[in-house]
Amino acid sequence: MDERRKDIRRKLMAFTPVYDLGHPRTLLGYLGDLTLEGALVIGEHPVSINKEMSLGIEFPNDLSDIHISRVALPARVAWCRQDESPLYYNIGIQFTEVALKHAELFQEILARYHFRYALSETDFKRG
């Protein structure tokens, strides 16, 4: 079965914190790129693969015409590996459910505030 990602990843130019909304709420890192199905988060600590969580993304308030700044949605850590810099980890997040209003928001953000970021084929495989 081919489980590679179908969407092209988009890397956002905005500073966007991402949280595990469990108790206590924990900063996972910052959004590196985004699709309608998942995201790359760049953080300072490794995260367990297959961890299920309520993920919080806080988009900057200065994104013109974007009226939702905070999004909470269920997610799973698909993979986690050390970045080229030993100080950071790349965390592959798969959204397990995306509400229509969040999908529309992501599409709007991706259409206006992105540039292409190419990931390797191994980045498309599930952990």
- Residue with the two structure tokens 């790359």: 40
Higher pLDDT, 76 or 14: 76
Is residue 10 pLDDT above 50, yes or no?
no
Please report which helix (H) or strand (E) contains residue 77, including its range: strand 70-82
Domains and their CATH numbers in the chain: 10-116 (2.40.10.220)
pLDDT at 59: 83
Q: What's the predicted TM-score (pTM) here?
A: 0.77
- Which residue's structure tokens are 């529309």? 104
